[in-house]
Amino acid sequence: MKKLEQLISPNKVGELFENIHVMITLVDSSGALISWNHAFGDYKKSNSPINKLEDIFLQQDRHQVNFKLSAASQEHWTSEIISNNGTPSFFDCALIPMSNGNLLFTAEKIASTPDTQKLIERLNRQVKMFRLEREAAKKIARNKQVEMESVMIQAREVAQIDPLTFLLNRRMIVKELQSEVIRAVRYNSPLSISVMDIDYFKSVNDTYGHLVGDEVLRQVAYQLRDHTRQPDIAGRYGGEEFLILLPNSDLKAAAEQASRLCRQISQAVVQVQEHSIHVTVSIGIAQFRHEVDTWDTLLNRSDNAMYEAKRAGRNRWVVDE
């Protein structure tokens, strides 16, 4: 028995295409429409604009269709296609490669019995539920990512901040000092630093206890934040000792700041419970010497000047010339 296509003359194929309800279109390898039969033309008029094969499919299926086009092999599959009333319907689809590199696409709507329709509706509900769950999962993942980034930022801040005074901790203030020395060398700019120590702090702890001593440290740190310039950087260097960095500042500017800090702190009263405590500070100042100092020699000079202020009677500042 001969095959049907052997019995149909070529001049009747076009007439056959135009009189069947199956949608047929010829496309190139990119999916651009070249020609189509009457059934596809009616569909195209009702759903314009349609310029490429992917336009008739749902958004989430278009990548798969383009992949099939690029493969240029014979394909047969079932897919949803946007129907004339705007709702998707299932179609039996086929893609047939031609000898000239183009492809013939056919789509026949799947007729449904009541039972089949119920099955399709149930599957559609499941698909919709899966999509909603996927979007919900994406949202949860995004929220978790934001939450994780927030936790990481907080963790970095905790790692950089002294928990008692909320100034930079020792590691970070030394790191900032190293960076400022590099910047001063690069731009040949002035840099001064001050080491500040609370006078007789051990006596405060021994007399009133460590809780009161902690409050004294917090109040001194508050004065330090309140009476330094915005570009300056302050940190707790250790115990009752603080380090202040003054970028683009010479000894005169650093001395003016030290004088102001000594005066403000000595005039303030630390009120803790029933105790009224007066404290003073001693400050040592040094300016970075280009081609002589490193960050640690600069720090040592400032520290030595602070101890000189202690020996000279405390509640004062001394400059290392």
Instruction: Please report, for the chain, the start and end positions of each structural domain, with discontinuous segments joined by +.
Output: 4-111, 112-160, 170-320
Closest CA to 162 of 225, 100, 118: 225
Spans in the chain with pLDDT lower than 50: none
Q: How far is CA 57 from the centre of its chain?
A: 35
Q: What is the dihedral of CA 171, 172, 173, 178, to 10 degrees?
A: 90
Q: State the pLDDT at residue 248.
A: 95
Q: What is the rounded distance in angstroms from the CA atom of residue 224 to the CA atom of residue 268?
A: 12
Start-to-end CA span in the chain (Å): 113
Q: State the pLDDT at residue 115.
A: 63
184-222 residues labelled b (16+ CB within 10 A) or e (exposed): beeeeebbbbbbbbbbebeebbeebeeebbebbbebbbe
Helices (H), 28-169: 38-46, 62-71, 114-160
Q: State the pLDDT at residue 232.
A: 94
Q: In this structure, are strands 23-27 and 103-109 parallel, antiparallel, or unpaired?
A: antiparallel
> Selecting from 3.40.190.10, 1.10.3720.10, 1.10.240.10, 3.30.70.270, what CATH number does the domain 170-320 have?
3.30.70.270
Q: State the pLDDT at residue 114.
A: 64
CA–CA distances in Å: residue 269 to residues 201, 208, 213, 272, 312:
15, 15, 14, 9, 24
Q: What is the rounded distance in angstroms from the CA atom of residue 104 to the CA atom of residue 75?
A: 11
In terms of phi and psi (left: phi > 0; alpha: psi -120 to 50; beta: otherwise), the region of 200 is left
Q: State the pLDDT at residue 167.
A: 93
Which two structure tokens, joined as six digits, stand for 198? 């609370």
* CATH architecture of residue range(s) 4-111: 2-Layer Sandwich (3.30)
The strand order across the sheet containing 191-198 reads 233-238, 241-247, 191-198, 281-287, 316-320
Q: What is the pTM of this model?
A: 0.56
Greatest Cα pair distance, the chain, in angstroms, is: 121
Which residues, listed in sequence order, are joined to residue 78 by a DSSP beta bridge? 92
Q: What is the rounded distance in angstroms from the CA atom of residue 319 to the CA atom of residue 220?
A: 21
Q: State the pLDDT at residue 12.
A: 67
Position of tokens 């008692």? 164
Q: What is the rounded distance in angstroms from the CA atom of residue 62 to the CA atom of residue 52?
A: 11
In this chain, the answer to whether the domains covering 4-111 and 170-320 adopt an identical fold is no
Which helix (H) or strand (E) covers residue 27, if one does? Answer: strand 23-27
Q: State the pLDDT at residue 315.
A: 96
Indicate which residue of 54, 176, 215, 240 is catalytic.
Answer: 240
Give yes or no: 240 in active site.
yes
Q: State the pLDDT at residue 90.
A: 81
Which two structure tokens, joined as six digits, stand for 279? 């404290």
Q: State the pLDDT at residue 214.
A: 93
Q: What is the rounded distance in angstroms from the CA atom of residue 193 to the CA atom of residue 74?
A: 78
- DSSP assignment letter at 282: E
